Amino acid sequence: MTTSGQLNQVLLVGLVLAMGLVGVVLPGVPGPLVVWAAVFWWAAWTATLPAWWLLTAVTGLLLTTAAARLLVPVRPEWMQDVGRRTLLAGGAGGAVGFVVLPVVGVVPGFVAGVYVRERLRLGGHGSAAAATRTAMRATGWRTLTDLTACLLAVAGWLGTVLWR
């Protein structure tokens, strides 16, 4: 395949990975599955040893994350209080935190994103802090777990693409 065809394929996989990351923070969208499918698609298309190793690592990571999610409780009665924009703000903050302070920055970035969104929505610190605690208890920790795993998968993919 030509170089422009390879570039198009990598850009398309990158776009699907970005959609998977957004899907992680949107309720009802299988973000980790989309991320895994994009890595699988790329590994099958590339068919190199590093691509297969990455697919194996991503599969193990996402399966482990899915198992760990079962241990994190969900508070369905509180979930109606957590809006999509709040989770999107948390996801954006987590992604920025992941880049600024690699890997560990996703946690404070996610919580800060949720807090900033709630502060803008509610106005005061006290009510925003309470809303942030509620959001994290309702679904935030599960979303954060998936987001961290998917960000690691995307970072691994990007590293493998740039390394080749």
**b vs e for 99-126, b when ≥16 Cβ sit within 10 Å of the residue's Cβ?**
eeeeeebbbebbbbbbbbbbbeeeeeee
Along the 164 residues of the chain, how does pLDDT read in single tens digits? 457 778 888 999 999 999 999 999 887 789 999 999 999 999 999 999 999 999 999 999 999 999 998 887 776 655 556 778 888 899 999 999 999 998 899 999 999 999 999 999 888 899 899 988 888 888 788 888 999 999 999 999 999 999 87
Q: How far apart are CA 149 and CA 32, in angstroms?
A: 8
Q: Whole-prediction pTM value?
A: 0.87
- Could you tell me which of 79, 72, 61, 87 has the C-alpha nearest to residue 149? 61
Q: How far apart are CA 96 and CA 115, in angstroms?
A: 15
Q: How far apart are CA 94 and CA 106, in angstroms?
A: 4
The pair of three-digit structure tokens given for residue 22, joined into one six-digit string = 């957004």
The pair of three-digit structure tokens given for residue 70, joined into one six-digit string = 């079962």
The pair of three-digit structure tokens given for residue 147, joined into one six-digit string = 């987001």
pLDDT of 136 reads 86
Residue 52 and residue 117 in contact, taking contact as beta carbons nearer than 8 Å: no
